[in-house]
Amino acid sequence: MSTDSAPVRVTVTGEAPYDVVIGHHLLGELPSMVGEAAKVLVVHPAALSTTADTVAEDLKASGYEAFVAEVPDAESAKTPQVAAFLWGLLGQLDFTRTDAIVGIGGGATTDLAGFVAATWLRGIRVVQVPTTLLAMVDAAVGGKTGINTSEGKNLVGAFHPPAGVLCDLQALGSLDKWDLVAGLAEVVKTGFIADPVILDLVEAHVEELRGWAGADAADETWAVVAELVERSVRVKARVVGEDLKEAGLREILNYGHTLGHAIELAERYQWRHGAAVSVGMVFAAELARMAGKLSDDVADRHRALLSSLGLPVHYRGDRWDQLLAAMHRDKKARGNLLRFVVLDDIAKPVRLEGPDPTLLAAAYAEVSKEPPTKGPGTPVTLTLG
Ligand SMILES: NC(=O)c1ccc[n+]([C@@H]2O[C@H](COP(=O)([O-])OP(=O)(O)OC[C@H]3O[C@@H](n4cnc5c(N)ncnc54)[C@H](O)[C@@H]3O)[C@@H](O)[C@H]2O)c1
Ligand SMILES: O=C(O)C(=O)C[C@@H](O)[C@H](O)[C@H](O)COP(=O)(O)O
Ligand SMILES: [Zn+2]
């Protein structure tokens, strides 16, 4: 892999602007992002223990009092119990408002670390170090933090922008190919809502991306991944810079998530987020097609592209009532009114409010027509430690 290109810096504007830095071997930049803090808690899952220890040592060498906290892997970190464990630790370590948290890991870890930072003393600094593709292109950027409850996904959370985000592409070298593909679901989402070049790039490199070989991937594949990260981050930065608290525009980032989150809940979080969002996007495309908004070509492109990556595009037909109930707890819902993000065309996202129940059921019938394929959505590939 070629690692000699200069890092890219994307600034997220807002009350407290911050940089998302994308490149290789960036961990040396962490102390400057952490800034004035005296104490730093590095939050990480077991898979990132070595990196977290290295980061803590670097922080100590830069004069900080650094501590590490290992949290459960993946979605099992996003619980009130794990948040309470971290609050307990921060209390025992006498963390004050000038101290900081560093989240190192995938989106589940950065969502948790961000949420604990948002709530501790009503808000302390957090620096995010995403280590999955999904967290780099989406979760770690934008300050949406949260945890799950038994009733649904991300039901408790806060908008709390990070002080900085370090996307060290080097981390992707150890990423499982299904996690790379799960991240591509959010990349493809970004393509459909805002940047058609992303779709062309993914389509042109499906085979290499789908068979992601990590550190052994060809230089060209690394270059494609780097470009996909940069393009996705630029879109996310523009959107959240304009609408941090999701008053309007930011809802476009939720494309595919209304059904996607309901599937994650139904599957007790044994599906990867990206896999569930993949099915959710196919559903949203069917809805838009049936509502007379989206052309057959663009709707079909969803299914073709996502399935070519090995992402699931179907879900079981016997769970519609359960999924519908979960969708009523979606954050875009208003009272009994379901609201969806759909497309008029590529890069033309619009809202579909209160669609007729028969339209919803018909769109879902298209999604549930064929049996699930093997891919990142199948529990067999998912073991949550
Ligand atoms: N806040 C947001 O805006 C936002 C956006 C998108 C998704 N999310 C959330 O992000 C989560 C999904 O994130 P994810 O797909 O990164 O999943 P994840 O955090 O569960 O990570 C997936 C797996 O990859 C492992 N891992 C992480 N980095 C690794 C590396 N470098 N090498 C090897 N293994 C590594 C993790 O330990 C885990 O087992 C969901 O909870 C979703 O709701 C949040
Ligand atoms: O940043 C956003 O805004 C998003 O909606 C990005 C989504 O990819 C992400 O999964 C987010 O966590 C979903 O948020 P939620 O508000 O629907 O829980
Ligand atoms: Zn998402």
Contacts of 207 (CB under 8 A, 6+ apart): none
* SS3 label, residue 21: strand
Which one of the listed residues 24, 125, 189, 236 is annotated catalytic?
236
Same domain, 79 and 162: yes
Judge whether 183 and 198 are in contact, CB under 8 Å.
Answer: no
Range of the domain at 116: 8-175
Predicted TM-score of the model (pTM): 0.96
Q: What is the CATH number of the domain that holds 116?
A: 3.40.50.1970
Per-residue pLDDT of the chain (385 residues; tens, 9 = 90+): 667 789 999 999 999 999 999 999 999 999 999 999 999 999 999 999 999 999 999 999 999 999 999 999 999 999 999 999 999 999 999 999 999 999 999 999 999 999 999 999 999 999 999 999 999 999 999 999 999 999 999 999 999 999 999 999 999 999 999 999 999 999 999 999 999 999 999 999 999 999 999 999 999 999 999 999 999 999 999 999 999 999 999 999 999 999 999 999 999 999 999 999 999 999 999 999 999 999 999 999 999 999 999 999 999 999 999 999 999 999 999 999 999 999 999 999 999 999 999 999 999 999 999 655 555 554 333 322 2
Q: How many domains does the chain have?
A: 2
- Residue 218: exposure state from Cβ atoms within 10 A (0-12, 13-18, ≥19): exposed
**C-alpha dist (Å) from residue 48 to 14, 17, 62, 68, 256:** 31, 28, 21, 11, 29
- Asked whether the ipTM of the predicted complex exceeds the cut of 0.95, the reply is yes
Same domain, 373 and 261: yes
Same domain, 186 and 272: yes
Tell me whether residue 3 is in a domain.
no
Domain boundary among 175, 199, 228: 175
Same domain, 144 and 186: no
Domain boundary among 115, 141, 175: 175
Distance 286 CA to ligand 1 centre (A): 27
Same domain, 294 and 351: yes
Same domain, 152 and 249: no
SS3 content of the chain, % helix, strand, coil (to 5): 50, 20, 30
Decide: 253 in ligand 2 pocket, CB within 6 A. yes
Q: What is the CATH number of the domain that holds 347?
A: 1.20.1090.10
Tell me whether residue 1 is in a domain.
no
Same domain, 264 and 342: yes
Secondary element (H or E) of residue 343: strand 339-345
Same domain, 110 and 166: yes
Pocket perturbation via mutation, ligand 1, pick of 110, 175, 265, 273 by most ligand atoms within 8 A of CB: 273
